[in-house]
Homo-oligomer: A and B are copies of this chain.
Amino acid sequence: MDQTIMESGNRKIRVAILGATGYTGEEATRFLLDHPRVEIARLFSLEFVGKKVWEPFPRFSKKLDLVIEEFRADSSLEDCDVVMGCLPHKASMGLLGPLVEKGIKVIDLSADFRFAEVETYSAAYGVEHKYPHLLKEAVYGLPELNRDKLKGCSLVAVPGCYPTSAILGAAPLLKERLVRPSGIIIDAKTGISGAGRAPSARFHFPECNESVSPYGIGKHRHQPEIEEQFSRLYKGEVKVTFAPHLAPMTRGILSTIYLDPQGDVSLDRVRRVYEAMYADEPFVTVLGDGLYPRTADVTGTNSCHIGFTKTAEGKIVVACAIDNLVKGASGQAIQGLNAVFGFDETDGLTRV
């Protein structure tokens, strides 16, 4: 068993959150407040430095009295057991890499350690990787797939929001090779919080309210992430067409996935592989026949709802709903933290 876990014994582990004032940092703070084995020890951000966290975020009033600190290269985090990085892509690796090297456990919500190959990362994100050797150490933090590897690991790369919904949605079919590895289409619809807290013309309320629109079809950086994980599940190269869309809501992702069966695959067979894979998963629900998920049923929770059908034309169509900020980010990060430390995976994540 991992040393850290043993050391922690019955005391609560101490968590520092970097990027605490973005949406994922705030969300991590909300859930960790309910975690029976975690103490939120320190909050870092570039904004609101020196303020009590409840000043900019009145929801924390009477719940958490920490001062927001500025993170510096020499900030000592030796009083913390684990760091949760809620930082932007590209900025994240430079701040978290040294912490991993110092032996602090790191849960990174950015994309910086998600890829096996440094070339894939550089191609997708357009920068050199600063800590390429850590890619080998990082575990892709989807507990439903990588539970065993997460236990005791030093660096968790929390999956992206879109990839989480796509992977959980398609995993049973890919793993059992019931579908062809090409021609897969993922039409995803996201709430606006997926774009983060920084204001911009595109996410100004009157611009995106009452509107649905696609963006970056075939060019989104989550596509290579999805393809890498799909390929791993399929044990062979898988390519997808990924089309993200903005929907006029704050939270939620619905991925509708279109796949071609490999050979003769009945709807019953499809159901059996989903139920087999997810029977004991605390956060994944396979809906009954003819039922499809609604994002509203999962928002605010770490749950994932999946429904599917097979059409007369022979397509298998799967719909998978999560909350982009919870199962798609901070909730999944906490689930990963639980897996790392050997806690019950639902600790802190019991909200429905």
Contact = CB atoms under 8 A, between A and B. Distances in A.
Contacts of A210: 191, 210, 249-252, 295-296, 299
A262 interface: no
Q: Is the interface of A mostly helix, strand, loop or mixed?
A: loop
Contact of A187 (B61, B208, B256): B256
A312 interface: yes
A153 B265 CA distance: 48
Given A62-B282, A293-B213, A297-B58, A201 B204 contact: no
A189 B212 contact: yes
Contacts of A212: 189, 247, 249, 252, 254, 294-295, 321
Nearest to A285: B61
A219 B196 CA distance: 31
Interface stretch (A82-90, A139-147, A236-244): A236-244
Contacts of A30: 351-352
A9 interface: no
A7 interface: no
A317 interface: yes
Interface stretch (A72-80, A124-132, A303-311, A330-338): A303-311
Given A209-B205, A247-B247, A300-B300, A58 B287 contact: yes
Interface string A215-259: 101100000000000000000000111010101111110101010
B213 A313 contact: no
A249 B192 CA distance: 14
A298 interface: yes
B193 A199 contact: no
A33 B34 CA distance: 13
B218 A350 contact: no
Contacts of A23: 206
Contacts of A287: 58
A352 B60 contact: yes
A272 interface: no
A55 interface: yes
A183 to B, nearest CB: 7
Given A205-B250, A210-B296, A240-B313, 10 more contacts: A58-B287, A58-B293, A60-B352, A192-B209, A197-B206, A205-B205, A211-B299, A213-B254, A248-B248, A351-B351
4 shortest interchain CB distances as A-B pairs? A218-B311, A211-B296, A213-B294, A61-B285
